[in-house]
Structure 1
């Protein structure tokens, strides 16, 4: 199992006492989960289990698969005699629902009040409370430098000092690649389920920054909640020219950018329909992204299978099931053209697909996997 050189080095150079508390923050996503897995064995060499705190800041707006993931982690932590603490902003007991009503608006790219109020404030209040009770707080966060341009300068560690308290933040996997993360997860606790239902990221259900693919996968329950919020906010928008909307989409369909949630979701579903979103469909999408649609189709021409041009697009987008005679060629192309991380994702997805079929055959409830 890959180790964290950053955490090893800092543990050897940091003063650790009985009053030192390590806090590992998780989101239900791959990077925070990898940070947790790689950090626990190292930390337990230096401190006792009660000095390790694992926290999850709940917005009450997460995906069902995220909550399922958190429950799986809770069970894993029992082996280490560690509890997972769920933190919330006490001012907004119902999370995002209460916050939107309080703000009388939806969050936007310019005003991201949800992250501050529902994620940052509960965590910072927790750190402050520990500090004021005499503990030295060290936080472990799953940030990587290769995630984005904004994170390329992520330090190994950083000290945050405020008026009343301070804490040290360590980024144990800052120097890891995405492939490193997926490899560790596949070897150990598994890749979070949210990545196998079409989502590119783990976060709120849905984040206002979500792409159309994620929006197309929204649950009916969440859509109904958003409609209720739209109707509530309309009373404050009577004198304004635009409609209260969670997803701002300015295009030919929505020239003003403001549209009710139901219209946005229907638009997204027209773009991304996953009625046949199986292992082979996902493999085709990986290959399309790698080779391009024309090159991929030409590969099947070489193999002697020439799908109709329109139908081939529907296979890739999950609108039609991948024909049996095409599946062997799909599997061959993935082994030839995809890198290790992409093959690993497909392998894990296939495992989940088989698991769902097995549970369906025994009449078990498999809706939590949300793969289709």
Structure 2
């Protein structure tokens, strides 16, 4: 029996890992981390801390899209379709679009960026392919390999019902296939209980929680809160600049010629207006405003990058 624990570097997966280590036979726990390429370095540092503090090895998994990118390059270069989309635009890539895409459509080694180049767009809450292709699929493949090697597998997942509507009705235990089960030990827990367990075991929380982050993982996440985006811009401006560069590259890989990290305000927005209105830098300015997005929040503008602003009260 192998107990595979998905570790993200966040509070919930850390608590789940601690429970698995307490309950399972020595040597049977297999922690895994799916590297999306969009995490803060503090996450990777925290994984190293957990390995040292708990005397474990966390297996790093990373999706690879080199073959798919090569196939897309061939498709774009050879595209001779003659049909038209419902809005009247040609389905075929224009010669200008081909040159633009082929100039940048090369594997970067970063799973998140490579996936977005392959899709020609960024993920969204309605099409959250980042989770499925960068986290779920590598984890499932890893576990299926264990099953093929003759092991029974229990997949430990650190999710809680109060996180979202989609997770509200998840069962605590579930059978998902021959030789595979799912265990969600903290499904009914609160965030306070999760932090309390780590504290009781002498495990410090990820330092990002003391720096205004409500969630730890991708930075920024496509679902990040307005306050999270504001804190990222104040404390980690290099991440904003990285996303701005990714917007340029992914836009070049888009047949439409534009793509922003957060969805454009209007689907029919003119390409020339997209970055002015919906680009990451514009969204950062919006994050500094009060509700309604029309007036700057003067108190929030006074945020200092070296102060603690934990939303969980970890600094008290």
Relative to the length of structure 1, the TM-score reads 0.61
Q: 1:124 aligns with which of 140, 159, 164?
A: 140
- Structure 2 gaps of 5+ residues are 67-108, 292-296, 305-309
Looking at secondary structure, tell me which structure has more helix per residue: 1
- The answer on 1:233 being equivalent to 2:250 is yes
Within-5 A mapping of 1:1-372 = 20-43=1-24, 47-49=25-27, 51-78=28-55, 82-91=56-65, 93-161=109-177, 166-188=179-201, 189-216=203-230, 217-218=232-233, 219-236=236-253, 239=256, 243-248=258-263, 250=265, 258-269=277-288, 314=298, 317=300, 319=302, 345-346=312-313, 348-350=314-316
In 2, the alpha carbon distance for the partners of 1:247 and 1:148 equals 20
Question: Match of 1:68, SS?
Answer: helix
User: Cα deviations across residues 297-316 of structure 1 (Å, max 9, x unaligned)?
Assistant: xxxxxxxxxxxxxxxx855x
Mean Cα deviation higher: 122-131 or 134-143:
134-143
In 2, the alpha carbon distance for the partners of 1:249 and 1:199 equals 24
Find the structure with the greater CA-based Rg.
Answer: 1
Displacement of 1:137 after TM fit? 0.6
In 2, the alpha carbon distance for the partners of 1:24 and 1:118 equals 16
In 1, the alpha carbon distance for the partners of 2:265 and 2:219 equals 21
Relative to the length of structure 2, the TM-score reads 0.71
Structure 1 segments, 4+ long, off by >6 Å, are 254-257
Conserved? CA contact 2:120–2:259, under 8 Å: no
User: Cα deviations across residues 220-272 of structure 1 (Å, max 9, x unaligned)?
Assistant: 332232222222233355757xx411113649xx9987522222223324569
Displacement of 1:169 after TM fit? 0.6
Conserved? CA contact 2:3–2:20, under 8 Å: no
RMSD: 2.9
User: Cα deviations across residues 173-199 of structure 1 (Å, max 9, x unaligned)?
Assistant: 223222211211222212222221111
In 2, the alpha carbon distance for the partners of 1:220 and 1:72 equals 25
In 1, the alpha carbon distance for the partners of 2:13 and 2:247 equals 33
Q: Flag the 1:232–1:137 CA change in 2: closer, same or farther, 3 A.
A: same
Conserved? CA contact 2:120–2:254, under 8 Å: no
Q: Flag the 1:177–1:208 CA change in 2: closer, same or farther, 3 A.
A: closer
Displacement of 1:320 after TM fit? 7.2
Displacement of 1:318 after TM fit? 6.4
Between 1 and 2, higher relative CO (CA 8 Å, sep ≥ 6) is seen in 2
In 2, the alpha carbon distance for the partners of 1:100 and 1:31 equals 27
Q: How many residues align?
A: 254
